[in-house]
Amino acid sequence: MNTLYLKLIALITMIIDHTGAVFYPEYPVLRLIGRIAFPIYCFLLVEGYFHTRDVKKYALRLLAFAFISEIPFDLAFFGRIEYTHQNIFFTLFLGLLAVHFTETSPQNNPIPGMAAILAAIVLSEFLRTDYGILGILYIMVFYGMRQVKSMMKILFMILLLTLLNFLLSGGLQLYSILAVLFIAGYNGKPGPRSAFLKYGFYAAYPVHLLVIYLLK
């Protein structure tokens, strides 16, 4: 399973999740299916970091779509401009910075990386970005597991995500470990690539939220 397939799975399950949240809250199975999306996006963020040619452009792209998506996000979920909760691109942006500073920290001085992780956690909670601290820690789990080989990698992912879910969330979020079943099939290959596909997946987030708002 290449990157393209994982992106499609994450996108489809995310749309199912948001449709259920807005239109069919009485059917929790839709939200359960939606728990698959975010861990895959976190995993892809880490993979993207190690495959991008320009980390700065990658970070700026995430930040740009964070601002582009904020109004559709607010309208879809709150019906108005709302400053108390920010969309998932902000979480991914902060997580990417935490990964970058951790990866570039000297081996004999982990303090910059640790400070970056702490700063990302604090900012995600202060800004109330989607998933908050849980989102940042998901990203760091996938970053930390990148060098682990074989089945141990999958087992550690399941254990760590389950622990984080129990400690920081609970409820339907416990089903997010289902995402690991798809991640386990990842073959390390990107699949077909083009500017249309790359920006299409970014744009799908604000566009589907705007459609949900208009339908609502």
Terminus-to-terminus CA distance in the chain, angstroms?
35
Distance in angstroms (rounded) separating the CA atoms of residues 81 and 90? 16
What 3-state DSSP class applies to 191?
Answer: coil
**Main-chain phi, psi angles of 184, to 5 degrees:** -60, -25
pLDDT band for 189, please (50, 70, 90 cuts): confident
Residues 6+ apart with CB under 8 A from 59: 93, 96, 97, 100
pLDDT in tens, 86-144: 999 999 999 999 999 999 988 878 888 899 999 999 999 999 999 999 999 999 999 99
Residue indicated by tokens 């970091």? 49
The pLDDT of residue 149: 78
For residue 209, the model assigns a pLDDT of 97
Q: Quote the pLDDT of residue 36.
A: 97
- Give the global pTM: 0.94
Closest C-alpha among 195, 190, 180, 160 to residue 39: 180
Residues paired with residue 33 on neighbouring β-strands, in sequence order: none
Q: Which residues pair with 129 in a beta bridge?
A: 86
Instruction: Check: CB of residue 95 under 8 Å from CB of residue 131.
Output: no
Confidence of residue 75 (pLDDT cuts 50, 70, 90): very high
Over residues 17-35, the pLDDT tens digits come to 999 999 999 999 999 999 9
Residue 136 is encoded by which pair of tokens?
A: 């940042």
Q: What angle do CA 56, 57, 60 make, to 5 degrees?
A: 85
Residue 5 near residue 199, CB atoms below 8 Å = no
Q: Is the pLDDT of residue 11 over 90?
A: yes
